[in-house]
Each structure stands twice: as C-alpha cells, then as structure tokens.
Amino acid sequence: MRLPVAPPVAPMLAKLARELPTGEGLLYEPKWDGFRCLVFRDGDELLLQSRNERPLDRYFPELPEPLRDRLPSRCVVDGEIVIATGHGLDFDLLSLRIHPAASRVAKLAAETPASYVAFDLLAEDDEDLRGVAFGERRRRLEAALARARPPVLLTPATTDPAVAADWFERFEGAGLDGVVVKALDGAYRPGERAMVKVKHQRSADCAVAGFRWHKDGEGVGSLLLGLYDRRGVLHHVGVAAGLPERLRRALLDDVEPYRVGLAGHPWAGWSGADPQAPPAGRMPGGPSRWNAART
C-alpha cells in the first residue's frame, strides 16, 4: 500500500465522563458496541486493522467487497464493525468470529453478516487528514460516503446536546453503549484519549468461572464472568480486563486454589471439541487459551 497514512495506526481513544459535556464546538455520536476497525484502502488492496493494531480481515470475509464498492479508492477510515439483529447490536456474535477455522468464520459470516459504521476520515488520496480539524474531516467523510448503503454506514452525528441525551436514554439496551463527544476543532491524535465517552452504568454480582492468561504469559489477562439463569445454567456475560500488572500477578495467586479441569465445567464446550456448543458454552477469543475455575 502507498497511502499518506500507513498501517498500523493506533486509533484515537476516549476518556470516560459521567455526565454529557455541553458547550460550543462539540459533536455527539452514538457509541457503538462493536469491534473498533481502521480500514486502509489503496485501490484493490484493503486492510482491516483492530484497535490493537492487528488484522481483522480473515474474521469478516463479507466486508471487503462492499468496502471496495462504497469507500473512496484511496483512503483511511476509522469506524466500528457491528452485527445487528432484530433485538439490536449483538457483541457476542462478533466475538464468535474470532475463530481459528476459516470454515466456521465463513458459516457465521453467511448467517449473521457484519456491517461497518464509519465515523472518521484519516486520509484521502494523497492527503493526510489527521492534522485537519474534525469538523472538516466529518464534512469530507460525509462527502466520501454520500453513496454508501448497508452494510457500509455513516454514523449519525449532532451538535445538539438534547438530541445526544435522547440517544443516550432511548437506545440503551439496543447495543449502543452511550455517547461519544468530539471537539470540532480537534486533530486526530493516535493512541491518545482525546475524545470523551459517556457510558451506561450497570452492575451485577457475577461468578468468576475462568480466566485467560495475559498475552505475555505472566499472570491473569482477564476474568471470565458468568450469571446463572433461573434454570441454573451459567451464561457467559463478559470479562474483566485491562488489569494493571501488579493485579494480574496477584490474581493468579487468588485463583490458584480454584483451578480445575474442564471435565464437568458448564463451559466445557469451549474446549474446542464441540464447535456447536450451546450459547451458554460460548466464549470469544479461542477456548484453548482459558482455564476453568469453580464458581
């Protein structure tokens, strides 16, 4: 690829706020519950890059063709991959895509195809737009996606905080995490928390049913959380991740007395032996990299 912005690029991030900021010069967007994805296109060459600067192409084989059809021939776009169902966005269906078997990924792509929601333009033709004010980047993005249609979409945006507050309340539970707030005069700052996100707050007392090793092999990378339904079935509901190094090592000592084999564990289907395991037995990211624990 010969683009003015070459991969990999660390995406610009957001810092958490508890209340919706107001004032002049702000743009509000829905916060999508999906996989962050930067798209690099140079003619027929296309690269989908994750938030962690890794390729996503093999997990979403249904997206390259519509992206080539609807994006400018040479560009870098920031956005989110989502899967929409009749009940809203489904993050668990996205997580199932991170699977080592191409046949499994292809089957899921046909059954529950993904969409791409664009919200920023980092480059177009030979122009690096990262130093350009976001208001102008947004205008250019709208022009670039003027003929876009599903599964490639342009995120809604508003300068009216009342509309943003309505989004925040009305779309809770539909797969939208909250609202993202951006300064119209702001540059694109890779890897920095230069935006603001206001997220819905929910709490639950969860069972810790397992953990994943950290990518460096030292300590706990994330805890696998579950909730029991009325039938006593333990459902995976999320992870606790982003742990500081000191806590990762301390947690390893804490979970050691509870480590057990997969035999008899309610999520034993994640061992990879049964790719058709029921929803209660599914886990994103590859079952061979987790350890069971008594709940």
Q: What end-to-end distance do the CA atoms of the chain give, in Å?
A: 49
Confidence of residue 278 (pLDDT cuts 50, 70, 90): very low
Confidence of residue 2 (pLDDT cuts 50, 70, 90): very high
Separation between Cα atoms, residue 166 and residue 97, nearest integer Å: 32
pLDDT at 19: 93
- Of the candidate ranges 129-138, 229-238, 286-295, the one whose mean pLDDT is the lowest: 286-295
pLDDT at 294: 45
Q: Is 15 a catalytic residue?
A: no
Between the alpha carbon of residue 67 and those of residues 102, 116, 240, the distances in Å are: 20, 8, 33
Quick check: 80 pLDDT over 70? yes
How confident is the model over 177-193, as pLDDT tens digits?
899 999 999 999 999 99
pLDDT at 62: 98
How confident is the model over 232-271, as pLDDT tens digits?
888 888 788 778 888 988 988 888 888 776 676 777 765 4
Confidence of residue 291 (pLDDT cuts 50, 70, 90): low
Quick check: 107 pLDDT over 90? yes
pLDDT at 41: 98
> What tokens does 15 get?
């810092």
- Residues above pLDDT 90, as percent of the chain: 59
How confident is the model over 208-232, as pLDDT tens digits?
888 888 878 788 888 888 898 889 8
Per the residue annotation, which of 31, 107, 182, 199 is the catalytic one? 31
Separation between Cα atoms, residue 285 and residue 78, nearest integer Å: 23
Quick check: 272 pLDDT over 50? no
Confidence of residue 56 (pLDDT cuts 50, 70, 90): very high
Quick check: 284 pLDDT over 50? no
Separation between Cα atoms, residue 214 and residue 229, nearest integer Å: 29
Map out the domains of the chain with their CATH numbers: 13-199 (3.30.470.30), 207-293 (no CATH)
Quick check: 15 pLDDT over 50? yes
**If you average pLDDT over residues 90-118, what whole number do you get?**
94
